C-alpha cells in the first residue's frame, strides 16, 4: 500500500464547493464536494453527507490515489455515456433529456420515496417515447423494492424494452431470488449498492445474483481497486458516477478508459445535471460521448461555486478525520 501524502499537502489546495442542480436528485438540490490538487492533477473527495467516516475514508483513498499516482494506461480515447433521468414527472422528461447531447441510452430513476409505481410507469413511458424504439432504456431502483414489489414493477415496465434493471432490491439474497423469478423475461439485473456498499464486493457475483456490475471509482477506493473487482468478478461492468463534479468524473473516465471490455454506455454524463461546475468547460456529453480528459478547475469557476464557511469547515474536518482513519489502516499494515 502506498504511503499517504502529508495532510498539509492535501489541505493546501483544498476547495469546498457546492454545485446547484437543475432538478432535485437523490433528494438534494446542491451537491457538495472537496477538490484538491496533487502531483498528477486535481482530484475529488465527495462521499454523500449521510455516510459515516469509515465509509467515507474509502472515497478519500480513491481521491489520494488519483491525485498522487498515475492512472492506468487507457485502452480507449472516448466513452459512450447515458442520460440520467431523476424521479421527475413525465412532463419534465424531455427537458431533462435535452441536457444530454446525443445520448442513445437513458437511465431512469424509479422507486423514489413518496412515489408509486404508476409514477415510474409514466416516467419510463415518457423516456421510451422520447428515445424512440432504437434508444436504450435502463432503470435504477437504488434498492428501493422488496422482491414482490420488484417483480410487480418489472412486469409493469417490461413493455418498454428495458436494457437492464439496476439494484432493484437491497440485499444480495433478494437479487438472486428476483433474478430467478424473472429469468424468463430475459431482463438482466445490475448490482450497484451490493458492490460499492458491501464489505465483500464480490459476494454478489459469487451468489449469481446479478448479470453485470455497476462500478464507481470513489466508493470502491480508486481506479485500480475497481479494476481488480471487475477482473475477479468476471462479469460485464458499467462505470458510473456518484453525482461527481467534472473533477470526479475525470476519475470515472480514467476507470472506464482502462477497462478491457466496455459493452454498456456509462453513467458518466451527470455533469449535465448541474447548472454550475468547477471547470470552465464541464465534462458534459457531446454526441453521446465523453473524450478522455482530466478536468482542471479555474480559480474563477471555484470561486463561483465556493461553499459557505460553515460547510467548508464541516468538509475539511471530515476529510481530516478520514485521513486519520486511512493513516491508522496503514499503520496496522
Which residues are tagged catalytic? 109, 216
The CA–CA distances, whole Å, from 141 to 104, 131, 165, 191 equal 21, 20, 8, 11
Amino acid at each position: 500500500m502506498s504511503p499517504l501524502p502529508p495532510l498539509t499537502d492535501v489541505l493546501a489546495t483544498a476547495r469546498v464547493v457546492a454545485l446547484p442542480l437543475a432538478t432535485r436528485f437523490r433528494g438534494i438540490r446542491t451537491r457538495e464536494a472537496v477538490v484538491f490538487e496533487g502531483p498528477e492533477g486535481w482530484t475529488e473527495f465527495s462521499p454523500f453527507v449521510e455516510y459515516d467516516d469509515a465509509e467515507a475514508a474509502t472515497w478519500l483513498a480513491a481521491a489520494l490515489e488519483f491525485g498522487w499516482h498515475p492512472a492506468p494506461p487507457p485502452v480507449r480515447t472516448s466513452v459512450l455515456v447515458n442520460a440520467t433521468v431523476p424521479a421527475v414527472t413525465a412532463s419534465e422528461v424531455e427537458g431533462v433529456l435535452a441536457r444530454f447531447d446525443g445520448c442513445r441510452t437513458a437511465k431512469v430513476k424509479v422507486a423514489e420515496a413518496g412515489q408509486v409505481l404508476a409514477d415510474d410507469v409514466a416516467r419510463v413511458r415518457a423516456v421510451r417515447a422520447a428515445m424512440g424504439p432504437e434508444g436504450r432504456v435502463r432503470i435504477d431502483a437504488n434498492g428501493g423494492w422488496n422482491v414482490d414489489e420488484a417483480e410487480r414493477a418489472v412486469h409493469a415496465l417490461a413493455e418498454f424494452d428495458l436494457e437492464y434493471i439496476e439494484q432493484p432490491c437491497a440485499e444480495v439474497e433478494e437479487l438472486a431470488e428476483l433474478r430467478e423469478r424473472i429469468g424468463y423475461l430475459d431482463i438482466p439485473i445490475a448490482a450497484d449498492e451490493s458492490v460499492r456498499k458491501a464489505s465483500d464486493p464480490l459476494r454478489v457475483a459469487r451468489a449469481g445474483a446479478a448479470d453485470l456490475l455497476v462500478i464507481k471509482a470513489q466508493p470502491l477506493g480508486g481506479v485500480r481497486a475497481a479494476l481488480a473487482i471487475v477482473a475477479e468478478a468476471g462479469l460485464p461492468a458499467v462505470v458510473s458516477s456518484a453525482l461527481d463534479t467534472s473533477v470526479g468524473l475525470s476519475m470515472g473516465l480514467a476507470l472506464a478508459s482502462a477497462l478491457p471490455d466496455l459493452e454498456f454506455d456509462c453513467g458518466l454524463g451527470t455533469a449535465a445535471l448541474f447548472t454550475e461546475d468547477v471547470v470552465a468547460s464541464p465534462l458534459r456529453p457531446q454526441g453521446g460521448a465523453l473524450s478522455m480528459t482530466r478536468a482542471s478547475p479555474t480559480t474563477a469557476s471555484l470561486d463561483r461555486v465556493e461553499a459557505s464557511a460553515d460547510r467548508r469547515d464541516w468538509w475539511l474536518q471530515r476529510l481530516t478525520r478520514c485521513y486519520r482513519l486511512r493513516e491508522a489502516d496503514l499503520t496496522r499494515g
